[in-house]
Amino acid sequence: MELYTLLYAFVIYSPALAANGGATFIREGTPLDFGRSLGDGRRILGDGKTFEGLLLSLSFGLTVSIGISRFLGEPWITKGFMGALGAMVGDLVGAFFKRRMGMTRGQRALGLDQLDFVVGATAFMLATGVPLSLSEFLFVAALAFVLHLGTNAVAYRLKIKRVPW
C-alpha cells in the first residue's frame, strides 16, 4: 500500500478519531439514556455516555473537518462531520451491547472498545459517498486499535480516564 493511501486514510478518518477522544474530557454529565434501563434491568447506555460528551466529541470532529476542508474542499466539512457522527453512533452501539452483556462502565471489551467507532464512522462515510477501500479501512482499524490502547494508557496516567483501557 502506498504512503499516500495511508495518509489519505488517516486524514479522512481524523474527524472520527478526534471525536472518539473528545468525550474523555467530560467527567460528569447528563446521561443520554436519562438513567433508564431496559426490561433486562440493565441501563440502556450507562452514565459514561452523556449529552455533554457527545456535544464535545462532535465539536472536536467538526473542528477537524473544517481544517481538512481547507485542503480537500468544502464538501469535506459535511463528510468529515458525518464520519465523526458515525463514530459516536458506533460508540453508542458498542455501549449498548456492553450493557446487554452485563458489562459495567469502564469494563474492558477488547476489540469492541477500540473498533466500534471505526465501524460507525466507516458506515456513515460510505453513506455520504466517501470512497473507501478495504485496505484503507483495515489500516485505520489497526491504527485505531493501537492508538486507542496507547492514548487511553496516557489519559489514565494523567487522570483524565478512570481506567487504562
Render pLDDT for 97-152 as a digit per residue (tens, 0 to 9): 999 999 988 899 989 999 999 999 999 999 999 999 999 999 999 999 999 999 88
What is the per-residue DSSP string for 92-146? HHHHHHHHHTTPPTT---TTHHHHHHHHHHHHHHHHTT----HHHHHHHHHHHHH
Q: Domain count for the chain, please give it.
A: 1
Is residue 163 in a domain?
A: no
Its pTM stands at 0.91
CA–CA gap between residue 93 and residue 62 (Å, rounded): 21
Is residue 142 in a domain?
A: yes
Domain hosting 42: range is: 3-157
Q: Binning pLDDT at 50, 70 and 90, where does residue 1 land?
A: low
Is residue 165 in a domain?
A: no
User: How do residues 54-70 score in pLDDT, each as one tens digit?
Assistant: 999 999 999 999 999 99
Q: 69 in helix, strand or coil?
A: helix
Is residue 36 in a domain?
A: yes
User: How do residues 113-126 score in pLDDT, each as one tens digit?
Assistant: 999 999 999 999 99
Is residue 153 in a domain?
A: yes
Is residue 112 in a domain?
A: yes
Residue of 12, 24, 20, 119 whose CA lies nearest to 67: 12
Is residue 26 in a domain?
A: yes
CA–CA gap between residue 53 and residue 75 (Å, rounded): 26
